[in-house]
Structure 1
Amino acid sequence: MTDFAIRPEDLQDTLAAALGERVSRITIALGEVTVHVNAAQYLGVMQTLRDAVGCKFEQLIDLAGVDYSTYRDVGTDGPRFGVTVHLLSVSLNQRVRVKVLCPDDDLPLVDSVNDIWNSANWYEREAFDLYGIVFEGHNDLRRILTDYGFIGHPFRKDFPLSGHVEMRYDAERKRVIYEPVSIEPREITPRIIREENYGGLN
């Protein structure tokens, strides 16, 4: 293992040479390299990142779903859902972030990388559970955090904070039951201070 980390600019050049036109762009921000890839090229790019001589990203250390729905409020157009992956090369002492967008908002779908890094297994199940992103080729894609029969995907930005149902133990039936949410929507009114020089501030 090397004793020093590679410069982000050098890693950017190495990745550009290894991946070529299969990626839309490779950026550097805050000293971190990010590879932006289209869904159609995602699986092949990930395979190259693991196997290519200058890459050797042996470990997938994180994978998460993203809901970009509120980007449209600030004038940014594009697909709603995406996946962000963080890879680590222990042998070359380097890291990279990979971002891929799901082309269809109604059925967000990308290839599974579980056959490349088996650590992706539960991460992809989590993204499926919480965002509804489908990972094609995953051999056990089912919910991992929410309950059986759960409706919806709770990390989507349009999912209500109170949820759709609440769960409680019914002593008469001697089992857990689901009921419609009984929580009233909470109105939050900001506190208005009308005193002059409140807190000693001018």
Structure 2
Amino acid sequence: MSEIAVNPEMLKAVLAEALGERAQAIHVEREELTLTVDAAEYLSVMQQLRDAPALRFEQLIDLCGMDYSTYGDGRWEGPRFAAVVHLLSVTHNHRVRVRVFCSEDDFPVLSSVTSIWAAANWYEREAFDLYGIVFEGHDDLRRILTDYGFIGHPFRKDFPLSGHVEMRYDAERQRVIYEPVTIEPREVTPRVIREDNYGGLH
């Protein structure tokens, strides 16, 4: 087993040397390494992470979207949308988490990494569907989990819990129909039990 594989601090040093100023930040927390890169450098950095002999991250394990608009109880002041990617090096037996923020909140765009890892295909479609992140260079960027006519992106923090439309089967028309949602919006607050002797427990 590679010495780097069991020592995130050593991998951090290798990444810092390989990427230089293109690495905005490299953090180790709970024995896990997170690399943050700028959207403009994202594609070239990912290519290097796969191809550099000291790195060789051959496998993309996961890619997901993130909405930071309510992160830290509203104290977050950075960009709103990001993609987070988990990579694995089979050659060196080490992992890295790569985070890249979209440069615009109103129309979040990132480069697609499907040309580097084909496994990114459905993950990028999911991030597009749920968060509205557009991946430039993706050959087939369309919704993957929601319906064809779905409006909005349901994992965004400002998307209503009840949604915008509801669907039901109409027996007269003998088909599924869509209608404006009839559920009243409400704040759901969990019940907190503070009784010392609740349920007979002492």
Which TM-score applies when normalising by structure 1?
A: 0.91
Q: What is residue 18 of structure 2 aligned with on the other side?
A: 18
Q: How many residues are paired up?
A: 201
For 2:195 and 2:73, locate their aligned partners in 1 and report how far apart those are by CA, in whole Å. Answer: 36
Q: Which runs of 5+ in 2 are unaligned?
A: none
Q: Quote the RMSD (CA, aligned, Å).
A: 2.2
Q: What is residue 57 of structure 1 aligned with on the other side?
A: 57
Q: What is residue 118 of structure 2 aligned with on the other side?
A: 118
Label 1:31 to 1:189 Cα distance change in 2 as closer, same or farther (>3 A).
closer
**1:12 maps to amino acid:** K
Task: For residue 34 of structure 1, give the secondary structure of its aligned residue in structure 2.
Answer: strand
Task: For residue 48 of structure 1, give the secondary structure of its aligned residue in structure 2.
Answer: helix
Cα distance, 1:194 vs structure 2: 9.7
State how 1:59-138 maps to structure 2 within 5 Å: 59-71=59-71, 73-138=73-138
Label 1:196 to 1:102 Cα distance change in 2 as closer, same or farther (>3 A).
closer
Q: What is residue 177 of structure 1 aligned with on the other side?
A: 177
Q: Which runs of 5+ in 1 are unaligned?
A: none
Cα distance, 1:72 vs structure 2: 6.9
For the Cα contact (< 8 Å) 1:71–1:77, is it kept in 2? no
State how 1:128-167 maps to structure 2 within 5 Å: 128-167=128-167
Q: Deviations over 1:7-61 (max 9, x none)?
A: 1011111111111111111110100111110000000000000000110000000
Identical residues among aligned pairs (%):
70
Cα distance, 1:74 vs structure 2: 3.8
**1:45 maps to amino acid:** V
**Which shifted more, 74-83 or 41-50?**
74-83
For 1:3 and 1:53, locate their aligned partners in 2 and report how far apart those are by CA, in whole Å. Answer: 13
Q: Deviations over 1:72-104 (max 9, x none)?
A: 744221110000000001111000000000010
